[in-house]
Structure 1
């Protein structure tokens, strides 16, 4: 076994949440190691869209301009479609935000890893955490890490951050309990389609289903549909492309008419659905961010923004240090998450009328505005 390495912080997972946390903590002068079981620049399941709070944070960190420079199309109009009714919403500049973005994760995650390196953090890919190290009092003080060659070594750290997704090894090994459980789960299917005119983001709703188009990199749109899991399983018996076309034609005949001649890049990506949850955000020597700590249904496309937000809140707590700071982190995460969590869970249930869907989106917008105000006032990183 290799000699034990020592860092101030070990971040497990180096995507949106983990790479951001590593960057922000390194900028504060901490010695940070981030490890990830995947390879640099690989793709992953994603909702793509960055909400205003997410773009605001990236702008504050000097990174939003890199998305534009990489060719990510600016989004300045979002249109909600409730059946035949269209409700366009133009972006009002403010908070350092003059456009929203929906980057491919191959771009966004790489950009954040690069920024972590630039800040002085070390990032290692192809590394898996197998156990947590604890002192005699039970406090987490590091982890056992196995590299791609199968070599195991110990890493000591004053803080271990789980940013390793819904199936988080850190959450499991730390024994982090679930504190809030969602009631609903929607399934979704998406593909990257070239050739659509860029008219901003469109979200379509019909009884029992939703669909949409999100402009992303390389002249593509992320074209998606979402339905309850029972219907999803039935639709998928005919294959992903047929399911995507059939549900899209039901939810938005006009959008379906634009796409029949367009050939997607590869097979559609499927997500069978998973009920949302909040896990305990922190404990002695450990903390959770991103989907490891808080996951909600992707139908409201707020997951990337959640990841950036919680990384920033945790970096502030780590800079202060002490139990009170981490308790404050957990309190702020829950206060900002729960309104978004509950309204998303209702939308994912597909038990609404179109009028009720509009009311749920108004409540969602109210929660997001509260989030922006809180981050603008409180997050230092």
Structure 2
């Protein structure tokens, strides 16, 4: 039976996509965002494959008007000292985008409606439905990101397949007209550099959490300066920046759905940023799960959960293959055995 009262926990891209989709199918969800504000968004890329999803959600015109930047392509130095360039013009779906994440999140939140900004402290069964603190619901959607707040409250375990972290800095962009993003393998991990709106440059070192503990801002700067591509893109002459360390590894719930609930986006499965699928999957899973919920058929939720689990397993195989291609640093603490960790 189609639920009347659906609560969406989280209003990032996955939660907003779910809420927008539910509303389009005649269900007015209650959206609760446990985070009253986002303190810092470093910027991120959105692949061309996400464009149809933005159109489906009805936010494409607002997205186009929000100042996001087109990417000219990707410069990759991986498995070889010779870089390879993949131009965006070769993608028939159009350009990929370098986002202002705060603006992107704002577009989706506006379309989803104003969320309630409060923490959820108690979730329990209430007859055939749920009681969230003092709020009754027929169905719950967990879109609380890697924290998986609902899954934790329900006691659903999470499998962690890698402990990758990103050591991220936001710098003034010395060449704001340079529209290519850079991925470059190095002894201590791999670097990512990409412009974002506002003449800024996101630069990140992705490495294992155990390696990151020993990397100070000065050391981060030294490692950046030793690279062949990311360092020159960032320029020189600036002091060690403020560095934020964020979780970036692969992890997944042991089950991403159960009676009366479903998880979407990073709450269900979190991906290594090397895959470039985090935001795309957040949107697509938010839409797919909401469509299944709106059908009111438990088998549709089961099918969503089975498909999500199968896609995550295939992703781990693909990721392990890609990491195995980098063989230049066999004695590195990061690369040694890396393909067996993902």
Fold conserved between structures, TM > 0.5: yes
Q: 2:44 maps to what in 1?
A: 48
Q: 1:353 maps to what in 2?
A: 327
1:126-157, Cα deviation, whole Å (9 max, x unpaired)? x1111113135xx542411xxxxxxxxx2212
Q: Secondary structure at the match of 2:178?
A: coil
Residue 113 (str. 1) matches residue 109 (str. 2): yes
Runs of 4+ aligned structure 1 residues displaced above 4 Å come to 43-47, 262-266, 272-275, 345-348
Instruction: Answer yes or no: is the 8 Å Cα contact 1:7–1:156 preserved in 2.
Output: no
Instruction: Answer yes or no: is the 8 Å Cα contact 2:43–2:99 preserved in 1.
Output: no
* Change in CA separation of 1:288 and 1:231 when aligned onto 2, cut-off 3 Å: same
Residue 315 (str. 1) matches residue 306 (str. 2): no
Q: Secondary structure at the match of 2:145?
A: coil
| d(CA) in 1 for partners of 2:194, 2:55 | 21
Structure 1 unmatched ranges of 5 or more:
1-5, 145-153, 357-381
Q: Secondary structure at the match of 1:353?
A: coil
1:57-109, Cα deviation, whole Å (9 max, x unpaired)? 11333324433321111113112113531111122343xx3211131321111
**Counterpart mapping for 1:186-201 below 5 A:** 186-193=164-171, 194-196=173-175, 197-201=177-181
1:36, CA displacement in angstroms?
0.9
| d(CA) in 1 for partners of 2:123, 2:27 | 20
* Change in CA separation of 1:266 and 1:233 when aligned onto 2, cut-off 3 Å: closer
Which region of structure 1 is more displaced relative to structure 2, 322-331 or 296-305? 296-305
Out of 34, 38, 52, the residue aligned to residue 37 of structure 1 is 34
Q: 1:20 maps to what in 2?
A: 17
1:281-300, Cα deviation, whole Å (9 max, x unpaired)? 11111111122111233343
Q: 1:171 maps to what in 2?
A: 151
* Change in CA separation of 1:172 and 1:337 when aligned onto 2, cut-off 3 Å: same
Residue 141 (str. 1) matches residue 130 (str. 2): yes
Computed over aligned residues only, the root mean square deviation of the Cα atoms, in angstroms, reads: 2.8
Q: Secondary structure at the match of 1:89?
A: strand
Out of 303, 314, 320, the residue aligned to residue 328 of structure 1 is 303
Structure 2 unmatched ranges of 5 or more:
331-342
**Counterpart mapping for 1:1-381 below 5 A:** 8-40=5-37, 42-44=38-40, 48-82=44-78, 83-91=80-88, 92-94=90-92, 97-117=93-113, 122-125=114-117, 127-136=118-127, 139-144=128-133, 154-178=134-158, 180-182=159-161, 184-193=162-171, 194-196=173-175, 197-236=177-216, 240=217, 242-250=218-226, 252-261=227-236, 263=238, 267-271=242-246, 274=249, 276-344=251-319, 352-353=326-327
1:206, CA displacement in angstroms?
3.0
| d(CA) in 1 for partners of 2:69, 2:85 | 18
* Change in CA separation of 1:321 and 1:109 when aligned onto 2, cut-off 3 Å: same
1:100-125, Cα deviation, whole Å (9 max, x unpaired)? 113132111111000112xxxx5222
1:248, CA displacement in angstroms?
1.7
Q: Secondary structure at the match of 2:69?
A: coil
Instruction: Answer yes or no: is the 8 Å Cα contact 2:8–2:141 preserved in 1.
Output: yes
Instruction: Answer yes or no: is the 8 Å Cα contact 1:12–1:36 preserved in 2.
Output: yes
Count of residue pairs the alignment pairs up? 324
Q: With structure 1 as the length reference, what TM-score do the two structures score?
A: 0.76
